[in-house]
Amino acid sequence: WNQECCNQERVMGKHADVPMVLACGWYDNFIGATIDYYIKMKKKNKSPVSLILGPW
C-alpha cells in the first residue's frame, strides 16, 4: 500500500499546479483519501481545485 500509485503523500510536491477536478462517490472505498487529497491540493495549488462527491 506504500507504492506511489496507492499512496500519494510522499510525492505531493511533484504534482503540477494545474486546474483539477476530483470525483468520488459516497460509497467509494477511497472517499477519505480523495477528500484528504482535495484539501491538501487546495492549500498547495494556486490553480483551481474542485471536488465532486456524488450519491453513486
* 46 vs 6, higher pLDDT: 46
Confidence of residue 46 (pLDDT cuts 50, 70, 90): very high
Could you give the CA distance from residue 52 to residue 48 in angstroms, rounded to a whole number? 13
Averaged pLDDT, 34-55: 94
Confidence of residue 56 (pLDDT cuts 50, 70, 90): confident
* 30 vs 48, higher pLDDT: 48
Question: Considering the chain, what is the average pLDDT of its residues?
Answer: 85
Averaged pLDDT, 37-47: 92
List C-alpha distances in Å: 25 to 11, 17, 32, 48, 56.
24, 24, 11, 21, 5
